[in-house]
Structure 1
Amino acid sequence: MSVFIKLVENRPPKEYAELVAADVSYDDITDGESPVAYEYDLLPSGALRILRVAKGEAAVVDSIYAPGLWFRVHGQWHGNAE
């Protein structure tokens, strides 16, 4: 399962406004010999961590989003044993 993040839109004053991508998606890689899945967890501070998980290896932190930068996330919670 991929992880999808809805970000808080931070825009400059109207005269400088440009379209800003407010969504980020981390798509699992199922092709090849080493499939990779993306999962997420939350730090006590509220920061969102995106973890890259390769089969047979420990999870590696791919990205971290500050608590005020994101407001919604969908995907696989890291640590579920399913």
Structure 2
Amino acid sequence: MSVFIKLVENRPPKEYADPTASDISYGDVTDGESPATYEYDVIPSGALRILRVGKGEAAVVDAVYAPGLWFRVAGKWHGSTE
């Protein structure tokens, strides 16, 4: 499953801004030599971590978003069995 993040809207007036600029997606890699999925977790500080998980490999932190930068996330929680 992919991870979708909605960032806090802190940008110029909508006449000058792209409304999709506050949306970030991490799509799973299903083809090629090293397939991987993206998962997320939230550390105690409130920072959101995006993790790249390869088949048979440990999770690697791909990105971190500060607590005040994001407000919604959808996707697979790291460690869940779904």
What TM-score do the two structures reach when normalised by structure 1?
0.88
Measure how far apart 1:11 and its partner are: 1.9
Deviations 1:36-62 (A, max 9, x none): 100000000110000000001000000
Matching residue of 2:65: 65
Matching residue of 2:8: 8
Matching residue of 1:18: 16
5+ residue gaps, structure 1, are none
How many residues in Structure 1 have an aligned counterpart in Structure 2? 79
Residue 76 of structure 2 corresponds to residue 39 of structure 1 = no
Q: Which has the larger radius of gyration?
A: 1
5+ residue gaps, structure 2, are none
Aligned-residue RMSD, C-alpha: 1.4
Q: Give distance in 1, aligned partners of 2:6 and 2:44.
A: 20
Matching residue of 1:55: 55
Identity of aligned residues (%): 75
Instruction: Tell me the secondary structure at the aligned position of residue 76 of structure 1.
Output: coil
Where does structure 1 differ by over 2 angstroms across 4 or more consecutive aligned residues?
none
Measure how far apart 1:33 and its partner are: 2.9
